[in-house]
Amino acid sequence: MRLKLSLLSFAISIIFTEQSYAKSEQLAVAAVSHIANWNAVAPLSNNSLFAASPRWTGSKGPQLTYIDTQGKQHAWPDKSWNSWAPGKPTENRFVNINAIRLIDSQLWVVDTGAPDFGGTPLPGGAKLVVIDVKTQKVSKTYTFDSNVAGKGSYVDDLRINGKHAYLTDAGWAGLIVLDLETGKSRRVLSDSPSTRA
């Protein structure tokens, strides 16, 4: 009986805690764009944020935007990185950002390298760009060759664990394992049922 009362007490406290928490948290609009379709955001502790907009959505604004605490939007890290157009080199330019992650003052940017959804990455276009948030400078760029991000690849997300980054390829189904120290990358589980699900 004592155990039942303890469990009931615990359940009631959770319900009231969740209800009071839900009441205290209010949703608020952080930013609005009429020219970009953002599919990724990374908030900063000072209430500013980064937003990414893939090119294939028809967005006209920058691929990567910094939104300051006043709501003003800036191409980030600069206009040059956001200036890719057909026929231009892919080096030092975003072709088609699909994911961003903010980890320890480093913004990790996944560029599919393919101008169109379902297209093939341009040479040197598929890359992972690391930007120091404090200096607003690119600290490292990892590119993926056609053996890793080839025909039909759509490198679209990442997770980092220790000295490795793991990127998903939603086009040519598989995972990309990147050694962050050497810059060498390899594919695993290519066309495996576990990556095509």
Per residue in 56-105, pLDDT (tens digit) is 777 778 999 999 999 999 999 999 999 999 999 999 999 999 999 999 99
DSSP the chain: -HHHHHHHHHHHHHHHHHHHHHHH---------SS----EEEE-TTS-EEEE--GGGT--S-SEEEE-TTS-EEESS-TTTT---TTS--TTS-S-EEEEEEETTEEEEEE---SSTT-PPPTTTSEEEEEETTTTEEEEEEE--TTTS-TT--EEEEEEETTEEEEEETTTTEEEEEETTT--EEEESTT-HHHH-
Query: Topology of domain 33-196, per CATH?
Result: Neuraminidase (2.120.10)
Domain extents for the chain?
33-196
**pTM more than 0.75:** yes
- pLDDT at residue 7 tops 50: no
- Residue 6's pLDDT is 46
Q: Which token pair is 122? A: 């341009």
Contact 177, 186 (CB under 8 A): yes
pLDDT digit string, tens, across residues 106-122:
999 999 999 988 788 99
